[in-house]
Structure 1
């Protein structure tokens, strides 16, 4: 599902943790009324310790602090840090803790990433609170001001008091919060909307991308760490390239946290290359970012292009339709293309047999996962 397109926003692209982490922590330290945080990954380490300390400081000065974590993604958060959060006045809830119920329910995870301060300033992207984001993984976030922030808050509130969410934080906290929110419609700015997926077979983000790709005129640039695209997306990308659209993929190289996913996606390289799609594998670090650019439309958020994101997870992206923001995103893509190895069609056709075997093996496993739907 998606929110309404709203004018009057301001979006700032924050590439790399060196940009977005200081901006987020500064916003947390300046919070006066409320802090809402929704994350998939949170593991004990340097980054989690800094976040816990910042949230406790906010709660001590009277800010309503609500932290919602995924029940599986937060399994690495120590009991000591959980206790410190609760003792410090932070309302803590967990989405869908693992249990002895249906497989589909256990597979559905809250993969969204969101920070909202005072109902006026928000951040989203692909980040989490694990130390890999400090230096080992490349990530991108967007800073959000304007009317769409209220849509992000509403999305958070619906999940906070969901029957699938458990914890010490009172579900009714969001009802108190809602009365204090303000939507600022009185100034012009960038056009944007929030688009989200609600778990099993709910694919609004994919449908939005398909629509943009099918209507693209000049460029389709996609960055995703887990590229195992559906047949529908592969078909649309190939068709766009054949009609002369500049179609490029920015994907991870050998530095990858799940190499098998990379091999499963590489089995599609040949057909895409023959259609004219250009494929770049990022070299400096593991690129964990998820952002897309189609003409002047951009999408940044939590959603990957694999079966898990598209069929099981709760995901959310910020879409922006603005030429100024598109220019920023395009410049970021260009810098990352320059730091990548381009896979050429003739070289790929000569790849060794062991590479083809890995593609077949992991592609078969991916096919089995697809049939779980």
Structure 2
């Protein structure tokens, strides 16, 4: 009796595999990915069907439709802004056209070079809030820093301030219910982000990787840090932790608010509080770059390609995960051929072994084309910083991997300002002094099994 049941189960699994293979052929982004999924689902469905349910979904029509519709509404409702006509911003005009936004002149920027500086500034700003606080992070932890953030938000809510919090349901999977319940009981409005309103465990893609804090519409924060003790360098073995954030004052804060409002409206059906930012008192031209899988183009990848092509003398970038796609790889190679000083800084320690192995192989390939690659020491480097020539610097949440390019919602601030670029240059010079420049022997002298592991890890690039 059991044998027929087993036979029926196997037949059903194979039929489900064939149906999923057809879906993969129709919807997977690249021919290579479609072929790999289809072959695996058709021949080995008992091994590939479950991973495909978790990783293969690439459309979420309800979110896409509403995201685009309300983005247009937000665009129409946006107050008139002073357009930037600085010639140094013209080389990024394609980004403005793609994102339907513009550079804001006169922005006041402050570089926050580690976790202590970042969260001291954020918590101080929250403590001074008079109207509202908007907070969005990929990860919240219930640890020392998490509880400091929780207490700061509860104090503002108790003072009658509107406090709105978004966190990613997958990124913050370890966050206990009592942490969220305590915030809600204290008057904080808090929700997990998901691209499907009905929760499904069969969905790991389309995570909201943005890190945004806005206080009273006057001050904004964006960058690479999440809320947890490891971001303060308090969690061995990755300590000390190297990361960077940015504080912004000026009209660009309105675009941070808009990004938060779009995600908030999807989750809650309502709009968060909003105030118009006062004019900035600085010298920077700032473009807020919000990208994600709901965009018509692969906007994050195109962001990197555009900025890399703009470089004429120098291109320095730091990323914890160096898994560039073909477009970004080609842009980096062309920059080298133009005579640009191209440097990439990556970690010396892994936080995710598969992506670390793949990054090592990509670093080897980059070295062969003239790109200089450095490994930051000590600890783990998580910062996402890009420096172009002497006048442009970007800081945000974007990694150089497929998740950021086409699967995650990301955000960054692209700033054109020689003074700020000088601050970033000084910061990166210090990082390079604590880094080791690698050469091709890192790969060539590695044991055969480790090199094989690198090439196997590269097969997973589309989902890393």
For the criterion TM > 0.5, the same-fold answer is: yes
Determine the structure 2 residue equivalent to 1:272: 366
**CA RMSD of superposed structures (Å):** 2.0
- The answer as to 2:154 corresponding to 1:56 is yes
How many residues get paired?
Answer: 357
1: CA distance between counterparts of 2:192 and 2:232? 24
- Are 1:160 and 2:255 counterparts? no
Once the 2 structures are TM-superposed, how far is the Cα of residue 97 of structure 1 from its aligned partner? 7.6
- CA distance, structure 1, for counterparts of residue 109 and residue 120 of structure 2: 17
Kindly indicate whether the alpha-carbon contact (under 8 Å) linking 1:205 and 1:317 is maintained by their aligned counterparts in 2: no
Q: Structure 1 residues 348 and 139, CA, compared in 2 at 3 Å: closer, same or farther?
A: same
* Aligned residues of 2:309 and 2:335 also touching (Cα < 8 A): yes
1:335 Cα shift? Answer: 0.8
Structure 1 residues 185 and 100: alpha-carbon distance in aligned structure 2, compared to 1, 3 A threshold: closer
TM-score where L is the length of structure 2: 0.73
Aligned match of 2:145: 47
1:233-252 matched pairs, under 5 angstroms: 233-252=328-347
Q: Quote the residue 2:248 is aligned against.
A: 144
Residue aligned with 1:257, SS:
coil
Q: Within 5 A, what are the aligned runs for 1:8-157?
A: 8-96=106-194, 106-135=204-233, 136=239, 137-157=241-261
Q: TM-score, normalised by structure 1?
A: 0.90
Partner SS, residue 268 of structure 1: helix
Cα distance, 1:316–1:348 mapped onto 2, change above 3 Å? same
What is residue 293 of structure 2 aligned with on the other side?
Answer: 199
Q: Which of the two has greater strand per residue?
A: 1
- 1:274 deviates by 2.3
Normalized per residue, the structure richer in helix is 2
Distance between the aligned counterparts of 1:67 and 1:76, measured in 2? 17
- Aligned CA distance change for structure 1 residues 148 and 100 (closer, same or farther; 3 Å): closer
Label 1:173 to 1:90 Cα distance change in 2 as closer, same or farther (>3 A): farther
Higher Rg of the two aligned structures? 2
Q: Unpaired runs of 5+ in structure 1? A: none
Preserved CA contact (<8 Å) 1:267 1:359: yes
The structure-2 alpha-carbon separation of the partners of 1:353 and 1:200, relative to structure 1 and needing over 3 Å to count, comes to farther
Q: Distance in 2 between matches of 1:70 and 1:126?
A: 15
Superposition misfits of 4+ residues, deviation over 4 angstroms: 97-103
